[in-house]
Structure 1
Amino acid sequence: MHCHVGLTRANDTFFCLEKHIKLRPDTFLSSFLPQVTHHTKSTYKSQWLAVRQKRRKLQEDYLQTLPFSDFKAFNSVLKSIPKQSQLQVGNSSAIRYTQLFQLTKSIDVFCNRGTSGIDGSTSTAIGAAVASDKRTTLVTGDLSFFYDSNALWNNYIPKTFRIIVINNEGGGIFRILPGDKNTENFDRFFETKHHLTAKQLSEMYGFEYVVAKNEKELDLQLESFYKGARKPKLLEIFTPSRLNDKILLDFFKYIK
């Protein structure tokens, strides 16, 4: 059932509008709330907490079976984010992977939605790093990072600022959609395949550059990545583009 409370037009967004109550919300609630102050016993919360706990356990089991991939890289990266810090997340795949994992509540998480999705993520993260007293880490995909690389061209980036680029050589998010993959048209017009790296950009803009191409290298780099340095750092993680979509889709099947 859908009842809309308000003086103006009632939009039937869910196609089940039954009543338009033409009152100010505060007027309506002042009369409505005293009539519904009783509490109904419900198992709703406990049931969904049990589902969440079960799926978290399944997620841990699933991670043990995986080769190195986006999924495994995000698991390691997000566990490494310093407490009491600020996490800026790039759009598209980056934020979709991030929401699958637990983060400590002391970390402030932000994601910037640009006009075309990926644009502006790096600019927003650097602006936030300059304005905030908290150390800031940006976790972003390769297309989003390269698209907004001019954000690195300024003189105010804190030395504590960290960028982690997940480089799977294209817009991996499109590979999870139905349709033909691994074709020339798909690579060119949907995934935007490339063989770029962030190494030269890091050198040009004065970032310390480190790289990881497997799980062992990633764990090793993360051990020292957040330690003090004379300049900001960038960690580029290379993952296999042709495995990531299957691993992600199989994960949802596994926990179902």
Structure 2
Amino acid sequence: MNVPVESVRLVDSHCHLDFADFSGEIDQVLDRALVQGVQRMVTICTKVTEFDRVLKLAEAHDVLSCSVGIHPHEADHHPDVDVIRLVELSKHPKVVGIGEAGLDYFYDKSDRNRQQAVFATHIEASRQSGLPLIVHSREADEDTVRLLQQGAGKGGLTGVIHCFTSTQYLADAALEMGFYISLSGIVTFKNAEALRQVARTVPHDRLLVETDSPYLAPIPQRGKRNEPSFVRHTASFVADMLGLPLADFAAQTTANFHRLFRKVPQDGVIA
């Protein structure tokens, strides 16, 4: 049975709306998201050199917030950025998180030692700013956990493992440190049963949903350009997987989102 759109309140905790895929279409993309009950979105920075563009987009739309950070793919190719600079940029009201940052040993587009150094900088910036860390981790569970534990040991670190596709080990370690687990459209894919098994073990008050758009459109939109409105499909799938009504799951994940991203306004739908 379909839940009326107006009874569902969702968020897209991770998207990339500054990418060229959405050029000239942002207003329509946001309108479609609002129609599907997606009331808040965080557009994610991947290069500090392009932060001004990301921020400008967030400033132009009340439903958008943003982050500041360097994706691990960019670690080799990005000018040095220190903790002080990241913390200073994060003071803007629209900036609600640090990242995305982390480790990607699957593609290895940057030297692993350099990835670790840049990740450590973001971990410290998250601690000092008090903003959640948005973590990218692929085929790098042990080093991800080690660096996060080092930061968490100093206190004041929180965040989310975005687009989670990793092992029970990373999930358990992240949850132990107070982190959240965010599920993307990948959880709906037929070959993602191992991910679904891990997702079922995550406490409901630690789950988030996201699109990572323009990538990873969920079933039944797989193969299309992803966009925030499609987060409803992922939320519906996970709700069914967990045996929860969609409206309840949407309310839970939205509450989780606001508990983590404390700078995001909670004033309902903005037309």
Q: Same fold (TM over 0.5)?
A: no
Return the structure number with greater relative CO, CA threshold 8 A, min gap 6: 2
TM-score, normalised to structure 1, is: 0.31
